[in-house]
Homo-oligomer: A and B are copies of this chain.
């Protein structure tokens, strides 16, 4: 057992699952804020990988400030058109000169953005429906901490920062998260009429769960208003089915409730995202690192996407605490709710947090002492392998939003 300051205690609240009112939200991949998160993170990953390849270690960068300015579009059944393009500005800093080499940071950022958009938002024609620009300042060269091909050091904390993770997801959280993921994957694969901008709000009061879905439809695949209504209905049915996999509670699903079908005021888009018409976006305004917005739980305000995965404590601790929480729940029985908080201490290695406190709600028949040791071991192991988080981020294996 290490010397790390790990505390395991009962949480001073009911499990979220047992609270009276629960609110959960997820902004889908095509939501303007998520577009920004996704691009910021893909730029960060691309920079880290290029640095490793070119100079053998990750250099200073931070690209967590993408701004999206909405366009204007004229959707129409059967296929409308974008009128004014979306404008997206990638903002940040990155090291361009290092030991005689010039690293094409802006070029890397644009390529990563393009690749991300073409892969995740294929309805958007890069450079025509969306103009992507970049302003990267010059980074300060070397990181004092090393993440290289040959050696990896645990970095020092240079800031007082905080990360928080939770597990397991409540039923409502599981529904919200998985409904969006599966709409964008399974459902969309069969139904190209569904856009990527799917926003889901879950609200549970006691045992009644309401799931409200705002789903952008892609006009090229919608023939007329009847087709639209049918597609909305299909989305509703699909989400209702998904929900039953995660709960036995009563679930009501509402899709595109702001529509006024009579007057033709419906959620029809050319590109599958509201960014085409009036909805701006930026990094860190949407989902937290676990993919959800959960006011019932402690949240960090740090934007995780786009930060440097080697030495940005906020990013690392948010991802690590989530990872630890999931590991504990997978490996230790009897836990109904668990929160992991990691607080850094300036000047000490980040595998030695000022405090790692774990708060749990246990099943009725489980005592804290039954699980304390196992939990501590998992936390200790997670901290001991903190640089794995960096590695997995660079390899694109961890989601940040």
The interface of chain A, by Cβ under 8 A from chain B, is 9, 11-14, 19-21, 23, 64-65, 67, 69-70, 72, 74, 81-85, 87, 89, 91-93, 96, 102-107, 110-111, 114, 126-129, 131-135, 137-138, 140, 158-160, 162, 164, 201, 203, 205, 212, 257-258, 278, 280-286, 288, 293, 295-296, 298-301, 303, 341, 343, 346-347, 355, 357
Contacts and interface: CB of A to CB of B under 8 A. Distances in A.
Contact of A74 (B104, B282, B295): B104
Contact of A282 (B138, B205, B282): B282
Contacts of A91: 67, 69, 280
A134 B133 contact: no
A75 to B, nearest CB: 11
Contacts of A257: 346-347
Nearest to A355: B21
Contacts of A282: 65, 67, 282-284
Given A160-B212, A299-B299, A21 B357 contact: yes
A111 B128 contact: yes
Given A93-B278, A203-B160, A285-B284, A84 B107 contact: yes
B134 A85 contact: yes
B89 A107 contact: no
B258 A285 contact: no
Contacts of A89: 67, 69, 89
Contact of A162 (B23, B83, B92, B355): B23
A338 B330 CA distance: 35
Given A285-B301, A293-B301, A133 B21 contact: no
Given A23-B343, A70-B137, A295-B162, A65 B110 contact: no
Nearest to A65: B280
A205 B129 CA distance: 52
Given A12-B14, A83-B106, A93-B278, 15 more contacts: A9-B20, A11-B13, A21-B343, A74-B102, A81-B104, A83-B102, A83-B103, A84-B106, A85-B134, A87-B133, A127-B132, A282-B283, A285-B301, A285-B303, A286-B301
